[in-house]
């Protein structure tokens, strides 16, 4: 399960060639020009001793700088494992070391690659079509109609079905007796974009694909996974039972999950997702995952066992959409990104206490897998594989120098603005959590931009139209609408887009509304205190107007207090405890306090008449009351905009 904050940005230049699919829309595969007819300088580096020395040095630096408890890793090259290694302690208390063929790590959303492989196996058998309405395959659940367009497996595999995100998946306990079909029906997310138009990472959509495998094969998904994939490949140390349901021998092999607190480590509660486990609940060893990488690098075959025909596998690793060929996207479930001079496929995953990365570079015959047992730092997750690839292809770091002279941004000025990650909730209270998931794009010169997100800034230089690259080789691509206007920003991992938002959709507008209402609440309270006992509220009209002020002061104060309480409760957020507290009491308090603000705004509007027509107030006090009413009404509108009110508290 992906549990990472705002993503970083995309990777290096590749040329693309087109090939036609046998049926359905055109698909394409990327071919790096730098390696056409050439052999990359990889063999010397992948000498085991050289590789171990390099990785040992990198990980020693990470362990010290990022306080990493343990990491397991495997590297394969030309269908052979060349490194399987464990670093650090799987259990700090007992001193248990990481053993690559024994120690289990939760691999999070890397689990999805098994689902997508299963889909392609059924496709090859003629049991599935990638461009048919998925409702044709589902037995106990139906995807809602929207946009006059069905959702297909191609949409699901490229995270382009258009589903909003859902927090409810993470609030399902591992003891929940409901089947996957029952959970999918209960938690059906709203369709917020037409299929194919936006990339929105969807755990629900991925679990839906697993349900399709179950319904079409006639076997429970776990049985299909074991009988058709894991056992034939000899992956006997790959499981899906949650930690609390593992037998004692298996659980003793699991690396303990830790959280970093106040300079030390504490135990991390394991994330629970119940029957949603196909989307992110599997565990494995580095040795088993080396076999999984070899299967895919060898076009669907491992040690004489073939799961997919090579043509089917090539099709799986071919993109189904063509709107950003020089930037990151998905290829039937596999993250597909250009990096430096190569094409990198794979998947990342995160659960409470674990971060996992699997990167496959077909041109080099290279596969890299690693997982570590504390999710407090994304640095190894984001960069360790890239560092290894840089070393293999002999790429040297080249920093970006700031421009010495001020330049006009020229045509890049149209890119400026605020972009909000589309992987968020749109229809319920949880939409408010999207307030913290925006990024700001600022053109610097005629060919450079700066992106500010999550407290970090990156300068990127234009590679080609609408595609920009950072010094780390990461890329972003701007997405245009049918009129040619900039509409969204595609991230460097291929699994998210961020929508360009106007003034009303900008998170800063919400905070402005909250700040104005708070300031006018304070000045209104101080004015009431100053005028107390002076007779300025004498008369019926003045008392009605004064009551309107009092209601506004009380309700806005209570709402701000509820927001502070919500922030405090989230300050020690633990996704592993979500089944116990989500939705939290603070969410309900904030929701009802928001409705009180909306009610107060209405009462203050009604109180304007007596304030202006019959009270003995002075002009400044009447104007102040009018401004207070407008600020409160505007805040109420923003609460509706962000679904603090107007949607269910989920």
pLDDT in tens, 551-603: 999 999 999 999 999 999 887 778 888 998 899 999 999 999 999 999 999 99
Same domain, 125 and 89: yes
44-53, 66-75, 197-206, 511-520: which range is least confident on average? 44-53
Whole-Å CA distances, 590 to 490, 580, 640, 644:
33, 19, 13, 7
Q: Are 346 and 112 contacting, i.e. CB atoms less than 8 angstroms apart? A: no
H helix or E strand, kind and range, residue 470: strand 467-470
pLDDT over threshold 50, residue 405 = yes
Determine the Cα–Cα distance for residues 74 and 81; give it in Å rounded to an integer. Answer: 7
Residues 6+ apart with CB under 8 A from 29: 16, 17, 19, 314, 317, 318, 319, 331
- pLDDT for 20: 29
The predicted pLDDT at position 16 comes to: 26
Task: Say whether pLDDT at 308 is over 50.
Answer: yes
Cβ–Cβ < 8 Å for 497, 508: no
436 and 517 in a single domain? The answer is no
Query: Is residue 2 a part of any domain in this protein?
Result: no
* Per-residue confidence (pLDDT) for residue 530, from 0 to 100: 75
CA distance 193 to 167: 18
Q: Write down the pLDDT at residue 10.
A: 25
CA 76 to chain centre: 28
**Hey, what's the torsion of the CAs at 614, 513, 589, 595, to 10 degrees?**
50
CATH number of the CATH domain containing 147: 3.40.710.10
Residue 3 lies in a domain: no
Same domain, 597 and 467: no
Mean pLDDT of the chain: 90
pTM: 0.90
* Longest CA pairwise span in the chain (Å): 94
What is the pLDDT, as a whole number, of residue 109?
Answer: 97
Check whether residue 439 and residue 538 sit in a common domain: no
Is the torsion defined by CA of 156, 160, 164, 168 positive or negative?
A: positive
Using CA atoms of 372, 374, 380, 385 in order, give the dihedral in degrees to the nearest 10.
Answer: 30
Domain boundary at 357, 392, 427, which?
Answer: 392
Please indicate, yes or no, whether residues 488 and 377 belong to a single structural domain of this protein: no
**pLDDT tens-place string over residues 619-647:** 999 999 999 999 999 999 999 999 999 99
**Upstream peptide bond of 575 is cis (omega within 30 degrees of 0):** no
Residue-wise pLDDT tens digits, 17-26: 222 233 333 4
Do 490 and 520 sit in the same domain of this protein? no
Residue 6 lies in a domain: no
Rounded Cα distance, 421 and 308, in Å:
35
Q: What is the DSSP string of 251-303?
A: HTTBPPPEEEETTEEEE-PPP--GGGGGGT--EE-HHHHHHHHHHHHTTSEET
Bridge partner list, 73? 85, 370
Same domain, 215 and 358: yes
CATH of the domain at 431: 2.40.128
607/410 Cα distance (integer angstroms): 51
Coil, helix or strand at residue 71: strand
- Given this model, what pLDDT does residue 584 score? 92
Residues 358-377, mean pLDDT to the nearest whole number:
95
Answer yes or no: are the C-beta atoms of 425 and 433 closer than 8 Å: yes
Give the number of other Cβ atoms within 10 Å of residue 270's Cβ. 21
Scan for tokens 């699997």, then name that residue: 358
Q: What is the mean pLDDT of residues 383-405?
A: 85
The pLDDT value given to residue 533? 56
246 occurs within a structural domain = yes
Whole-number pLDDT of residue 617: 85
386 lies in the same domain as 485: no
Going by pLDDT thresholds of 50, 70 and 90, the confidence category of residue 227 is: very high
Contacts of 532 by beta carbon, 8 Å cutoff, 6+ apart:
none
From 447, 469, 501, give the residue that closes a domain: 501
- Same structural domain for residues 121 and 153? yes
Instruction: State the DSSP code for 546.
Output: H
Burial 372-408 (b: 16+ CB within 10 A, else e): bbbbbbbebbbbbbbbbbbbbbebeeeeeeeeeeeee
- What's phi and psi for 427, nearest 5 deg? -110, -5
User: Which pLDDT score, from 0 to 100, does residue 208 have?
Assistant: 98
CA distances from 317 to 17, 280, 335, 336, 361 (A): 14, 21, 9, 8, 12
Q: What is the pLDDT of residue 37?
A: 34
Strands 27-30 and 16-19: antiparallel
Q: Is the pLDDT of residue 47 over 90?
A: no
Strands (E), 431-520: 438-443, 448-453, 456-464, 467-470, 475-480, 486-490, 497-501
**Which range marks the domain in which residue 570 is found?**
507-641
Using the 3D structure, point to which of 478, 501, 524 is the last residue of a domain.
501
Residues 519 and 486 in one domain: no
CA distance 513 to 556: 11
Q: Are 495 and 349 in contact (CB under 8 A)?
A: no
Q: What's the domain count of the chain?
A: 3
Which burial class, exposed, middle or buried, applies to 418 when counting CB atoms under 10 A from its CB (0-12, 13-18, 19+)? buried
Please give the Cα distance from 339 to 109 (Å, whole number): 21
Task: Examine the domain organization and report whether 23 and 157 are in the same domain.
Answer: yes
* CB contact set of 24 (below 8 Å; sequence gap of 6+): 129, 130, 131, 154, 320
At which residue do the structure tokens 């006059």 appear? 148
- Strand order from edge to edge, sheet including 329-331: 96-97, 80-91, 70-77, 366-372, 354-361, 342-351, 334-339, 329-331
């Amino acid at each position: 399960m992906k549990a990472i904050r705002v993503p970083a940005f995309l990777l290096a230049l590749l040329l693309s060639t087109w090939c036609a699919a046998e049926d359905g829309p055109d698909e394409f595969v990327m071919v790096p020009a730098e390696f056409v007819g050439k052999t990359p300088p990889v063999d010397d580096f992948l000498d085991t001793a050289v590789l171990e020395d390099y990785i040992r040095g990198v990980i020693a630096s990470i362990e010290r700088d990022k306080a990493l408890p343990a990491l397991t890793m495997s590297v394969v090259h030309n269908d052979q494992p060349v490194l399987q290694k464990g670093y650090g302690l799987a259990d700090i208390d007992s001193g248990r070391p990481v053993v690559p063929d024994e120690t289990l790590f939760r691999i999070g959303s890397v689990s999805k690659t098994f689902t997508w492989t299963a889909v392609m196996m059924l496709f090859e058998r003629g049991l599935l079509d990638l461009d048919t309405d998925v409702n044709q395959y589902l037995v106990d659940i139906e995807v809602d109609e929207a946009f006059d367009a069905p959702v297909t497996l191609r949409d699901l595999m490229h995270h382009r079905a258009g589903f909003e995100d859902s927090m409810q998946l993470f609030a399902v306990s591992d003891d929940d007796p409901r089947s996957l079909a029952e959970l999918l029906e209960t938690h059906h997310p709203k369709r917020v974009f037409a299929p194919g138009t936006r990339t929105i990472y969807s755990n629900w959509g991925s679990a839906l694909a697993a349900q399709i495998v179950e319904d079409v094969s006639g076997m429970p998904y776990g049985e299909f996974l074991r009988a058709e994939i894991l056992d034939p490949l000899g992956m006997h140390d790959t499981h899906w039972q949650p930690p609390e349901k593992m037998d004692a021998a298996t659980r003793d092999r699991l690396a303990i999950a830790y959280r970093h607190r106040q300079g030390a480590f504490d135990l991390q509660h394991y994330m629970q997702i119940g029957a949603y486990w196909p989307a992110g609940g599997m565990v494995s060893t580095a040795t088993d995952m080396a076999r999984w990488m070899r299967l895919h690098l060898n076009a669907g075959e491992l040690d004489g066992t073939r799961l997919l025909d090579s043509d089917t596998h090539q099709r799986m690793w071919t993109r189904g959409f063509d709107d950003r060929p020089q930037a990151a996207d998905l290829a039937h479930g596999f993250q597909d990104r250009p990096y430096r001079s190569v094409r990198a496929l794979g998947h990342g995953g995160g659960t409470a206490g674990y971060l996992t990365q699997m990167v496959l570079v077909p041109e080099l015959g290279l596969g890299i897998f690693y997982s570590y047992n504390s999710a407090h730092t994304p640095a190894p997750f984001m960069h360790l594989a890239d560092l290894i690839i840089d070393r293999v292809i002999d790429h040297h770091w080249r920093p970006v120098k700031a421009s010495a002279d001020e330049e006009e941004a020229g045509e890049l000025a149209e890119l400026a603005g605020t972009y909000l990650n589309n992987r968020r909730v749109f229809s319920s209270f949880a939409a408010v959590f999207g307030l913290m998931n925006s990024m700001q794009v600022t053109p610097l010169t005629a060919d450079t931009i700066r992106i500010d997100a999550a407290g970090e800034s990156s300068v990127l230089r234009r590679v080609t139209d609408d595609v920009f690259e950072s010094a780390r080789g990461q890329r972003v691509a701007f997405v245009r609408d049918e009129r040619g206007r900039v509409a969204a920003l595609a991230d460097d991992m291929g699994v998210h887009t961020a929508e360009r938002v106007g003034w009303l959709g900008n998170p800063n507008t919400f905070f402005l509304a909250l700040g104005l209402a708070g300031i006018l609440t304070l000045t209104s309270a101080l004015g009431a205190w100053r005028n107390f006992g002076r007779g300025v509220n004498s008369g019926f009209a003045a008392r009605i107007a004064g009551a309107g002020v009092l209601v506004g002061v009380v309700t806005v104060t209570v709402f701000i207090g509820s927001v502070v309480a919500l922030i405090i409760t989230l300050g020690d957020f633990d996704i592993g405890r979500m089944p116990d507290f989500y939705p939290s009491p603070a969410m309900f308090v904030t929701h009802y306090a928001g409705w009180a603000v909306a009610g107060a705004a209405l009462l203050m509007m009604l109180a304007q008449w007596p304030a202006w027509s019959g009270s003995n107030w002075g002009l400044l006090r009447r104007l102040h009351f009018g401004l207070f009413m407008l600020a409160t009404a505007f805040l109420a509108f923003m609460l509706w905009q962000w679904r603090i009110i107007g949607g269910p508290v989920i």
